[in-house]
Amino acid sequence: MRVSVIGCGYLGAVHAAAMASLGHEVVGIDVDERKVAALREGRAPFYEPSLPELLTEAGAGGHLTFSTDIADAHGADVHFVCVGTPQMTGEFRADLSYVDASVGSLAPYLRPGDVVAGKSTVPVGTAERLAEQLAPTGAVLVWNPEFLREGFAVQDTLHPDRLVYGLPTDDDGEPTAEGRKARDVLDEVYATPLGEGTPLVVTDYATAQLVKVAANSFLATKISFINAMAELCEATGADVTRLADAIGYDARIGRRFLNAGLGFGGGCLPKDIRAFMARAGELGVSDALGFLREVDSVNMRRRVRVVDLAREVCDGSIVGRRVAVLGAAFKPDSDDVRDSPALSVAAQMQLQGAHVTVTDPQAIENARAKWPDLHFATTAVEAAQGADVVLLATEWQEYRELDPDALASAVAHKRILDGRNVLDPARWRAAGWTYRALGRP
Ligand code: UDX
């Protein structure tokens, strides 16, 4: 199939490379010239394991090209819309300007029967509006949400848990003839994952749009649930990691996404739950999502709690204290610092008068661009030089494996805060460290 991918960020660049690796002829389009130049050279503009290999492979085979000119999308059978929908400044709503701009600029190049597949995370109702807008072109809109996780994006795109098609439906809720044709086209695009037995859910626009935000809301709720339990553990001397293990053995609950700590961040979960609440308000059902406000609050309280812990171990004040923060990315195996709990805590401590040095295996440049006033170091040992307290904020493998004795020679005081509950308290205490964590005695 001939495929165009509009928007080459975390989602689009991976989707373009993955579609080419499935054997399609792909053109990736982005307005950012630097991004396109990098992608053309087979360089990923952000850190994502296995993406560089996929780009080089597909680029060398001539199946993958990149362009800044939307006219180059002309002639593709399917156009995937993969642009961002960030949170509006000062509001909970999603900013749809990139979606509107990309669909608007694509429209003149569409042919009747072309499929436009929306992948961006949008407030429910957007697909219906875009379908109307595209009607005069004769192209068919399908909503095909994406569930990839950063760090596993290639794997998640090539071998997804499920595929969802939101098709145009008639008054009886059945797919229209155009919708059925569009389904056949998507089936051909995804022939390989479908052939591997990937479950396919075919539904209407509204359900398809809701699936994505419902999934992310559930994940956020699961994390905030265990972080609320961590607050209870802190008040009672219980251990949240053992609690999570014990409840996680119940197959109905499951242990995944029950890691208590600094909570969720990134370019999806925080803004998606907020945009969902805003949309529920517009639809007159804000009570239905009242709990998400609490999910957000629990999540933000963890960041405050860790600053309090730092103050506690530093005898009541962090003013003028040296703090080493291990991790800046919102999670390991990513260089993404959007709404990163690690970086937000680092910045907060710096604002409260501490001297904060941050390190991260991949995200230092992005972190520096966002918070230039912080200090940066390339390794954990370098960051920990003269530290009064060390905070593990993002659980990169190399921080999980840190040797307490090796770090001891660098610091001024052997105090460690385990913001992700990944260190062995007994080992650190045996090496003479004061060990504190979130939700653990
Ligand atoms: C998420 C969804 O998982 C994905 O399906 C969707 O398409 C986009 O949003 P991502 O943002 O890449 O993906 O990160 P994810 O792995 O879900 O982690 C989100 C945040 O939750 C991270 O900050 C992570 O550190 C945190 N987290 C995750 C926890 O605090 N505890 C956990 O147990 C799991």
Å from CA of 215 to ligand 1 middle: 11
CB distance 336 to ligand 1 below 6 Å: no
Burial class (CB in 10 A: 0-12, 13-18, 19+), 428: buried
Q: Active site includes 82? A: no
Q: How far apart are CA 267 and CA 265, in angstroms?
A: 7
Q: What DSSP designation does 174 have?
A: P
> How many angstroms is it from 149 CA to the middle of ligand 1?
7
Task: Kindly state the average pLDDT of the residues 257-278.
Answer: 98
Cα first-last separation, the chain: 57
Q: What are the sequence ranges of the domains in the chain?
A: 2-198, 213-296
Strand order of the β-sheet with 415-418 is 375-376, 355-359, 322-326, 389-392, 415-418, 434-437
Angle, nearest 10°, between helix axes 33-40 and 10-21? 30
Find the catalytic residue in 8, 82, 233, 268: 268
| Residues 210-223: tens digit of each pLDDT | 999 999 999 999 99
Ligand 1 centre distance from Cα of residue 342 (Å): 14
Q: Which two tokens stand for residue 436?
A: 């504190």
Q: Over the stretch 335-351, which tens digit does the pLDDT of each residue have?
A: 999 999 999 999 999 99
Ligand 1, atom 1: nearest CA belongs to which residue? Answer: 149
What topology is assigned to 2-198 in CATH? Rossmann fold (3.40.50)
Mean pLDDT taken over the chain:
97
Q: Is the CB of 213 under 6 A from ligand 1?
A: no
The band of 292, judged by pLDDT with boundaries at 50, 70 and 90, is very high
Q: Is the CB of 258 under 6 A from ligand 1?
A: yes
CA 332 to ligand 1: nearest atom: 25
Which residues are CB-neighbours of 64 under 8 A, at least 6 positions away?
A: 16, 17, 20, 26, 28, 55, 58
pLDDT value at position 262? Answer: 98
- For domain 213-296, give the fold: N-(1-d-carboxylethyl)-l-norvaline Dehydrogenase; domain 2 (1.10.1040)
By C-alpha distance, which of 373, 410, 371 is closest to 388? 410
Task: Indicate if the pLDDT at residue 62 is higher than 90.
Answer: no
302 sits in the region (left: phi over 0; alpha: psi -120 to 50; else beta) called alpha
Segment 315-337, tens digit of pLDDT: 999 999 999 999 999 999 999 99
Question: Which amino acid would we find at residue 416?
Answer: I
